[in-house]
Amino acid sequence: MDFLNAFVALSNYVLIPGIAYGSQLALGALGVTLIYGILRFSNFAHGDTMAFGAMVTILVTWWMQAQGISFGVLPTALLALPFGILGTMVLLVVTDRVVYRFYRQQKAKPVILVIVSLGVMFIMNGIVRFIIGPDDQNFADGERFIISARDFKAWSGLDEGLALRTSQGITVITAVVVVVALFWFLNKTRTGKSMRAYSDNEDLALLSGINPERVVTYTWLIIAALTTVAGVLYGLDKSFKPFTYFQLLLPIFAAAIVGGLGSPVGAIAGGFVIAFSEVTITYAWKKVLGYLMPEGLEPDGLVQLLSTDYKFAVSFVILLIVLLFKPTGLFKGKSV
């Protein structure tokens, strides 16, 4: 029985990756939920918007690296992030003016808007592959670890090492900052309040003189910031590959739905629920159990409930269970 080593192993392989992945999902799900709340459709182009934002950031990062600009121990991508957000803002606002606005004025059914977003998804996917190609791109630089496994072992004298990658630390800190800023904006500012009013009851909001086009434009601007931050953080933490961003759509949607579509708090909770279930169910528990079980009872196998290739299955099953028992998600979502 060795609780300390077990806890360190658990933190290293489950808690830290789970928190980082959960923060990324939460940022993505916040975007999905905002679009659903205000524009009233499920945006299938969300994953590819993340890829676009990350792509612009990567291009600017490369340019900065070529110019010799760096951010010290932090990755240069953080300096390039505002440019990525700006680029995505332009893209989303133009897309809204050219594509979505027409259907909004027509008062088209939400499912039509979903199909329209499929078209936008194709186009964004095409643009990203056209500009940066379908391959893996590496853009992380700066210090790799905040705490490296070897230093931790030397410092604590434990058998297990604890590694905290810079990207994971940045992910969590950035996510907290972004979420706090978003909630402050939604709850305290005039624009944020009008956005919430519009989301709650469109007609009443119109009656009280809220300009819907302004609300929609602000929404897209916020979405641009959220998607770019989520995309860059995911790219720093794992790697940038356009196709994986498309596949992120499933866990992100699962997170938004589990939390309740349209509910920002729900999106964050959903992100962590999905991330932790994915990590715990696909993690091989042999090491942790080896420390916890009494002598002679240690497991022989890997004690991995499902192979990592089935991680989609995990988000999906969680989604189904929540929907079957709480049809509008954990935090009372809305339905159109």
List of residues contacting other proteins (CB under 8 A) = 36, 41-42, 99, 102, 110-112, 114-116, 118-127, 129-131, 133-134, 243, 246-247, 249-250, 253-254, 257, 261, 305, 307, 309-310, 312-313, 315-316, 319-320, 323-324, 327, 335-336
Q: Which is nearer to other proteins, 208 or 247 (CB)?
A: 247
How many separate helices (H) and strands (E) can be counted in the chain?
15, 2
Cβ proximity to other proteins, 109 vs 144, nearer residue: 109
Q: For other proteins, give the closer residue by CB, 253 or 272.
A: 253
Shortest CB 313 distance to other proteins, Å: 5
Token pair in block for residue 260: 């309740």
Phi and psi based region of residue 260 (left: phi greater than 0; alpha: psi -120 to 50; beta: remaining) = left
**Between 18 and 260, CB nearer to other proteins:** 260
How far is Cα of residue 184 from the mean position of the Cα atoms in its chain? 19
CB of 262: closest distance to other proteins in angstroms? 11
Torsions phi, psi for 265 (to 5 deg): -65, -40
As measured in angstroms, the least distance from the Cβ of 305 to other proteins is 8
| Residue 100 or 152 with smaller CB distance to other proteins | 100
Neighbour tally for 48: CB within 10 Å = 29
**Residue with Cβ nearer other proteins (114 or 293):** 114
Shortest Å, Cβ 226 to other proteins: 19
Question: Which of 124, 269 has the CB closer to other proteins?
Answer: 124
| Minimum CB distance to other proteins, residue 223 (Å) | 17
3-state SS of the chain is: CCHHHHHHHHHHHHHHHHHHHHHHHHHHHHHHHHHHHHCCCCCCCHHHHHHHHHHHHHHHHHHHHHHCCCECCECCHHHHHHHHHHHHHHHHHHHHHHHHHHHHHHCCCHHHHHHHHHHHHHHHHHHHHHHHCCCCECCCCCCCEEECHHHHHHHHCCCCCCCEEHHHHHHHHHHHHHHHHHHHHHHHCHHHHHHHHHHHCHHHHHHCCCCHHHHHHHHHHHHHHHHHHHHHHHHHHCCECHHHHHHHHHHHHHHHHHHCCCCHHHHHHHHHHHHHHHHHHHCECHHHHHHHCCCCCCCCCCCECCCHHHHHHHHHHHHHHHHHHCCCCCCCCCCC
Strand, coil or helix: 310? helix
